[in-house]
């Protein structure tokens, strides 16, 4: 394995570990439902939230992990009951990711946050 490739794999593992820690915090501290790569795609992830009474949460999917591996792009989705609620959830998600050393950017008005690097 080439050195850069090995370095990149290490980074991916570290990025996912940090995202898992951020999700643990969202779940324990704020009671937010989280799905860390447990569903295949966002359609399935959103169905789980829709069937859940509290209907709010943050997620990434197996497809997102594949995309991270293939193109280095990683987005985390969130869903709230209302627009205001979704905005609050987005702030909590970004704070949690920042506390775990991940740099983020919200892509316009979409219900997702892109991870753009690590500190």
**66 is a site residue for Zn ion (CB under 5 A):** no
Mark the segment that binds Zn ion (CB under 5 A) among 9-17, 32-40, 72-80, 92-100: 32-40
Minimal distance, residue 60 CB to Zn ion, in Å: 13
| 32 vs 35: CA distance, rounded Å | 10
How many CA atoms, within 13 angstroms, populate the side-chain half-sphere of residue 90? 20
Q: Do residues 75 and 112 touch, judged by C-beta distance below 8 A?
A: yes
Which residues are bridge partners to 77 per DSSP? 59, 112
Minimal distance, residue 5 CB to Zn ion, in Å: 29
User: Residue from 44, 48, 62, 92 that binds Zn ion (CB under 5 A)?
Assistant: 44
Closest CB to Zn ion among residues 40, 118:
40
- Residue 102 backbone dihedrals phi, psi, to 5 degrees: -105, 135
Helix (H) or strand (E) run with residue 100 in it: none
**41 is a site residue for Zn ion (CB under 5 A):** yes
Mark the segment that binds Zn ion (CB under 5 A) among 29-37, 42-50, 93-101, 110-118: 42-50
User: Residue from 8, 10, 14, 40 that binds Zn ion (CB under 5 A)?
Assistant: 40
Closest CB to Zn ion among residues 13, 40:
40
| 57 vs 30: CA distance, rounded Å | 11
Q: Do residues 57 and 76 touch, judged by C-beta distance below 8 A?
A: no
Residues that bind Zn ion (CB under 5 A): 40-41, 44
């Amino acid at each position: 394995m080439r050195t850069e490739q090995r370095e990149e794999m290490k980074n991916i593992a570290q990025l996912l570990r940090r995202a898992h820690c951020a999700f643990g915090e969202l779940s324990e501290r704020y009671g937010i439902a989280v799905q860390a790569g447990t569903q295949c795609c966002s359609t399935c992830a959103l169905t789980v939230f829709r069937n859940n009474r509290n209907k709010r949460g943050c997620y990434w999917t197996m497809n997102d992990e594949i995309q991270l591996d293939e193109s280095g792009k990683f987005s985390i989705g969130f869903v709230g009951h209302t627009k205001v609620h979704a905005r609050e959830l987005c702030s909590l998600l970004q704070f949690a990711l920042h506390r775990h050393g991940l740099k983020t950017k919200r892509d316009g008005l979409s219900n997702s946050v892109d991870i753009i690097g690590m500190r």
